[in-house]
Structures are given as structure tokens and as C-alpha cells.
């Protein structure tokens, strides 16, 4: 289920190379390596904990940055997350992977950081009640350019994506980042955010819709109605209006 990050798509002949984007972190060859490192770190082996840091700090940073959207803040969140993980290492029982445990700490700290510092800009769109009959057709069946790596070479497009992420609410942005960066299932995200699967689905749907709306002019034809109201922030009320699974 996990979608590994990485945009190393092969360019077509005559086309410029795609953006050289390093994958966030390679998956450990042997998952048991993490358990061994955690066991050593629990006994006070600082080198083992550093190895865990080296493996996951970049991924943790990307996750934090996706939520807080500020380099300094993201570094603070990652620092606090590893400190907290070290302090509570004795409570880690190994039922989930170390990174699963770590990313939950990162997400919680990132959201707490946002709420404490209120750097998040309010969304300009007005809220409106979710139409219970909303269907998947509301998501644009269009793509920007077909080669995301190439698109990201364009600084303007990259900037627009950053702005579009910033235009989402913290809950919408969190689920989108968790889904796209970590490849978590709906169930896993629901557990991480302590809400229902239906809420996760609703938030994810609206996050993507809002992203498309904000990037409307980048799509061929720019056919999205920018004046349409925004989605509600909280998906709790819309569990019964699960988006159609037709796509």
C-alpha cells in the first residue's frame, strides 16, 4: 500500500531531464534493523539512536515541513520529535515500526506548533455546507503536465504548490501530506488523527479539490470555478456523504 516517494521518471528523448529529486529515505533493507537499533538505543546506546536519526530525519522533516511550511519551524519540530522519541523509547513496544511511531510524534508536534504559533493563514474561501450528493466528478479529471518532476523544475509552479498547500486548513493539509508522503491507508490516517475513516476520506477529498482549485490556472483550459465555496473544515458531519468510489 505504501507509495514510495520519488520522482525519478525517465525523460522522453529530446526532453530535458526530470527534476533530480532524491527520495526522502530508502526503506531499510531489513526491517528488523530498526528493531535492533531501537533495542540498543533503549539500553542507552547513543550511536544506535543516531543511526535511527540518520535514517529518518529527512523524512520526518518533509512531513513536518508539509504541515508547518516553514524551514525553521520544521527543524524545531523534528528536533523536538526525536527528543521526545528518545525520552519515551522505553515505552515503544515494537508493535508498529519505529518510523510509524515517530511520524505520529512528528504530526502531533507539527499540528501543536501550528496552533501555538498560528502561522497558518486562514483560507480565503468561504465555508459552505457539503453537498451530500457530491461525486468524484468534482475532482478535475485533468492534469497539469503529465510529468511532475519536470513541472517542479519550474520555480513558479513549485511556489504555487507551496502556496496552495498553505491555503489548506491544518487538518486538510495534514491528511494530504500523510497520504502523499507516507502512503498511509485511510485506516492508518484515521488512527493517527484519532478520527473516523469517513472523516479522513472527506478531508482528503476536499484537500485535493481545494488544491486543484488553487492551481486552476495551471490546468489546460483553467476550467475550475474559483468562486465556488470551500469545503467545510471538519469532516465529522459528512460521514454519510462518502465520496463516490467511481474513480
**Residues of this chain that bind another protein (CB under 8 A):** 1, 3, 5-7, 19, 21-24, 46, 49-50, 53-54, 57-59, 61-63, 65-66, 71, 74-75, 78-79, 82-83, 86-87, 136-137, 139-144, 146, 148-149, 151-152, 157-158, 161-162, 165, 176-177, 179-181, 185-186, 201, 204-205, 208, 211-212, 243, 245-247
CB of 123 to another protein, least distance (A): 17
CB of 40 to another protein, least distance (A): 15
CB of 207 to another protein, least distance (A): 9
Reduced 3-state DSSP string for 139-192 = CCCCCCCCCHHHHHHCHHHHHHHHHHHHCCCHHHHHHHHHHHHHCCCHHHHHHH
Residues 69 and 87: their CA atoms lie apart, in Å, by 26
Residues 156 and 3: their CA atoms lie apart, in Å, by 26
CB of 199 to another protein, least distance (A): 14
From the list 228, 246, 247, 245, the residue with the least C-alpha distance to 130 is 228
Nearer to another protein, 32 or 67 (CB): 67
CB of 50 to another protein, least distance (A): 7
Nearer to another protein, 24 or 96 (CB): 24
Nearer to another protein, 78 or 193 (CB): 78
Nearer to another protein, 43 or 246 (CB): 246
Helix (H/G/I), strand (E/B), else coil: 230: strand
The H or E element spanning position 77 is helix 71-87
CB of 30 to another protein, least distance (A): 24
Helix (H/G/I), strand (E/B), else coil: 236: helix
Residues 222 and 234: their CA atoms lie apart, in Å, by 28
Long-range CB contacts for residues 219-227, cutoff 8 Å, separation at least 24 = 219/140, 219/142, 219/143, 219/144, 220/142, 221/142, 223/140, 223/142, 224/140
Name the residue with cell 481545494.
210
CB of 27 to another protein, least distance (A): 15
Nearer to another protein, 62 or 109 (CB): 62
Nearer to another protein, 34 or 85 (CB): 85
Nearer to another protein, 32 or 220 (CB): 220
Amino acid at each position: 500500500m505504501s507509495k514510495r516517494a520519488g520522482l525519478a521518471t525517465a525523460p522522453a528523448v529530446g526532453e530535458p531531464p526530470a527534476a533530480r529529486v532524491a527520495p526522502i529515505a530508502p526503506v531499510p533493507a531489513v526491517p528488523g534493523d530498526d528493531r535492533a537499533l531501537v533495542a540498543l538505543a533503549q539500553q542507552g546506546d547513543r550511536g544506535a539512536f543516531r543511526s535511527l536519526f540518520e535514517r529518518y530525519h529527512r523524512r520526518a522533516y518533509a512531513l513536518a515541513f508539509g504541515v508547518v511550511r516553514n524551514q525553521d519551524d520544521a527543524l524545531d519540530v523534528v528536533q523536538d520529535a526525536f527528543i521526545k522519541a528518545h525520552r519515551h523509547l522505553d515505552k515503544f513496544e515494537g508493535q508498529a515500526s519505529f518510523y510509524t511511531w515517530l511520524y505520529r510524534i512528528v504530526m502531533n508536534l507539527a499540528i501543536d506548533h501550528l496552533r501555538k504559533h498560528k502561522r497558518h493563514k486562514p483560507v480565503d474561501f468561504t465555508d459552505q455546507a457539503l453537498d451530500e450528493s457530491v461525486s468524484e466528478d468534482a475532482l478535475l479529471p485533468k492534469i497539469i503536465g503529465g510529468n511532475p518532476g519536470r513541472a517542479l523544475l519550474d520555480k513558479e509552479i513549485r511556489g504555487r504548490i507551496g502556496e496552495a498547500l498553505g491555503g489548506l486548513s491544518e487538518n486538510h493539509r495534514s491528511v494530504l501530506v500523510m497520504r502523499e508522503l507516507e502512503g498511509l491507508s485511510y485506516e492508518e490516517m484515521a488512527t493517527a488523527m484519532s478520527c473516523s475513516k469517513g472523516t479522513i476520506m472527506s478531508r482528503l477529498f476536499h484537500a485535493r479539490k481545494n488544491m486543484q482549485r488553487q492551481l486552476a490556472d495551471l490546468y489546460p483550459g483553467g476550467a475550475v470555478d474559483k468562486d465556488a465555496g470551500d469545503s467545510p473544515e471538519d469532516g465529522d458531519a459528512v460521514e454519510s456523504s462518502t465520496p463516490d468510489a467511481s474513480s
